[in-house]
Structure 1
Amino acid sequence: MNRITKTALVVATFFSAPSFAGYEVQIDDTSKLTFGGYFKADLRNVSGDQAYRDFWIGSSTGVPDTNKTSIQARESRFNVKYSNGELAGFLEYDFYGSDGNALVSNSYEPRMRHAFISYKNWKVGQTWSTFMPLASIAEALDFGGAHVGQVFIRQGQIRYTNGGLELALENPANATDDNQSIPDVVARYTFKGDFGQVAVAALARTFDDNGVAGHADGTQLAYSISGKINTFGKDDFRFAYNAGAAGRYISPGHNAGDKVNADGSGDLLTTQAYTVAYRHFWTDDLRSTVYYGHSEVEDFNGVSADSDRNHYGINLIQQLSKQLSVGVEFGNYDADISATETADSDYIQLSAKYVL
């Protein structure tokens, strides 16, 4: 069978699938395409003194008397994986690109999330940072849960994996200095067993300030301890503690500019952040997660004026079928918006999710 015929069959099969269901298409004896993703619709209301966001992250904008409701489906995503023996390529998009016209079309630009090649022990391309503890992230309707306490970042990298050991060189982007020439270095080790899993990770970033005062300089270090522990029945407890001179890696948006100490050392401001979450299954089809995240950047608002962020949430999710779930989540986000002022907002979110 020639390549054109194969492609035609794949496309025909793909678009004739009922409800756009996720599945595999075998191309030949060694090659296959796998389609996946999900559709997610959210109704979200934010009220208080923090500006509306589709989901909370580490950045903060105080807006008094906020009260906004949004109905949107931007978290929906689609991915495709091509496999040929031990070689695979993976591509995924969602719709958190540029904002569209909310008055008429409500269209949003696709945003590339992942694009990488994997071969045996190697992975090259863009995906979650090796420093990011994926297993510890709470199941939340707010996209990503308590970002404020997490390492949360996707970027280009070269990663080697052998058992529980992962070593990576990652994109050394920096908001204030384009001359960061040495890739960020990450090492992670994950211990797995009947209990669940626990991981430890270390991050090293090397900067050159080129003689510019107020820019980062030298090697900056950070670490992470995280896990997902099985408890009773299908329940689990998830946690992560992240600390050190991580800058943009911890609590996305909190210290996105990699601010440094005022003492002229060139050291990044120290961040401490953590998340805890417990997921409980009331029945096989009904579950809840309660979670909390906190981050603190030392001296962010001036000497001895730290910056705090907090996010807590609790949800109830009903599994209507293997692929369809609906849920409701209540929560609160608060943050220091200056050295002397704190603002917070409550939120409620209703979601429906259809997994391909």
Structure 2
Amino acid sequence: MQSNNKLRLAIRAAAIAGALGMAGQAGAVNFTAGDYEMAVYGYARLNASYDIDEDVSSSTRSFNYEAINVGAAEDDEPTGYFGADAVQSRIGVKATSPEGVMVNVEGDFRGGNLRLRHAYGSYQNVLAGQTWSNYTSFVGNTSTLDFDSLPGLSGYQSRTAQVRYTTGALSFSAEDPQNSIANAGGAAKDGMPAFTARLEDSSGGLSYSAAVLVQQLGYDTGTDDDSAFGFATFVAAKMAVTDMITVQGTLNYSDGANSYLYRSGADSAYVDANGDLETISGYGGSIGAGIKLGGGRSINIGYGMVEVDLDDAVDDGALAATETESVSALMANYQWTPVKNVMMGVELQYGQRETQNGDDGDASRLLFAAQYNF
């Protein structure tokens, strides 16, 4: 029983580190203010990209798959684009009261201005505020330099307002829903929260996670209305093959919840010609490996993909045949930590996009990152 408790404490510590955006960092500046235990943390980071084939970078130099040209347009694109920014840099503060109440506020500069990432409080088993969706896990993720990482990772992979209850390896939440309905104009509505349940645990060298999400989609024009339920589920796992090598992966399925199918960019549903709300399904996944070389050096290789079924939506005239139906990416990187709190790396990426009508295109790019933690 004692070993199980230690295991769960270790898992919770890892989850908290992820929630603070501190995974892989070396800690924080800790001090006492009155009766409060305080921590200030963050990093400064440079991201630079060279897009070999097309201009496909977004802020933080992340891969923008929607920018990949397809069909005849792919042949007309000029080549060679460089860019750099430091907007991924972040700062956060955590305060813990003598009663055990913890408050965390964190922001970064993506978009050019201070952006709220986390703002939540927790006491015992209850958390309330904005932080990582409970329908998210980092267990199966491969380490990438791309801030937005691979398609097909577990769940939402972002933050949302929520109330969460955690007991042991299980957590449950009611969250602000993430819906997108095609052909609904401004009549789309959220009638209830998204409800999630997640299991996350480990045994020996295996870490694993599984989750489900249910939400209601709806629209109401005042004369026409309809609603439907959407759901999503994922599983993720990481296995330590040796002290140096890990393999990890994720699998996802959604129907009426494609906002939670990571990097699909797809609508969750559409309104057909009869005014009926029809859900759209999709699936995705990722697989990867990490190899520690010693001396603070590592190599990571990963592949991810997502695909949605748009055939009915296009046939019903709710979506155009030029809508993206699938994206995939293959990446490999080398990361080096020359001293504590400093990471540098280079990454090669290859991405593909295909639309519902069968047009496709691809693009290759190089990334460089330098990160200094405190």
- When normalised by structure 1's length, the TM-score is 0.83
Question: Where does residue 281 of structure 1 map in the other structure?
Answer: 292
Task: Provide the rounded CA distance (Å) in 2 between the counterparts of 1:57 and 1:119.
Answer: 38
Partner of 1:11: none
Cα distance, 1:31 vs structure 2? 1.1
Contact 1:167–1:187 (Cα < 8 Å) also in 2: yes
Q: For 1:90, which of 104, 110, 124 is the aligned residue?
A: 104
> For residue 102 of structure 1, what is the aligned residue in structure 2?
none
- 1:152-231 to 2 correspondence within 5 Å? 152-176=157-181, 177-210=187-220, 217-231=227-241
Aligned to 2:56: 51
Give how far 1:128 is off: 1.0
1:302 counterpart = 2:320: no
SS in 1 for 2:277: coil
Count matched residues.
Answer: 324
1:23 to 22, 26, 29: 29
Most deviating of 30-39 and 55-64: 55-64
Task: State the 1:42 CA deviation.
Answer: 1.6
Please tell me the residue identity of whatever aligns with 2:92.
N
Q: Is there any run of 5+ residues in structure 1 with no aligned partner, and where?
A: 1-20, 98-107
Give TM-score scaled by structure 2 length. Answer: 0.79
CA shift, 1:340, in A, is 2.9
- Residue 273 to residue 206, structure 1, CA distance change in 2 (3 Å): same
Query: Secondary structure of the equivalent of 2:189?
Result: coil
Question: What residue is the counterpart of 2:368 in the other structure?
Answer: 350
Report the equivalent of 1:12.
Answer: none
Aligned sequence identity (%): 19
Which SS does the other structure have where 2:139 is aligned?
helix
- Unaligned runs of 5+ residues in structure 2 are 1-26, 182-186
Quick one: which amino acid aligns to residue 56 of structure 2?
A
Q: Give the structure 1 partner of residue 13 of structure 2.
A: none
Match of 1:336 among 342, 354, 368: 354
**1:50–1:344: 8 Å Cα contact kept in structure 2?**
no
Residues 292 and 215 of structure 1: is their aligned pair in 2 closer, same or farther, counting only changes over 3 Å? farther
Does the residue aligned with 1:302 lie in a helix, a strand or coil? helix
Which residue pairs with 2:45 in the alignment? 40
SS at match of 1:321: coil
Deviations 1:93-120 (A, max 9, x none): 11112xxxxxxxxxx2111111111111
CA distance in 2, matches of 1:166, 1:329: 35
**228-237 or 172-181, larger mean C-alpha shift:** 172-181
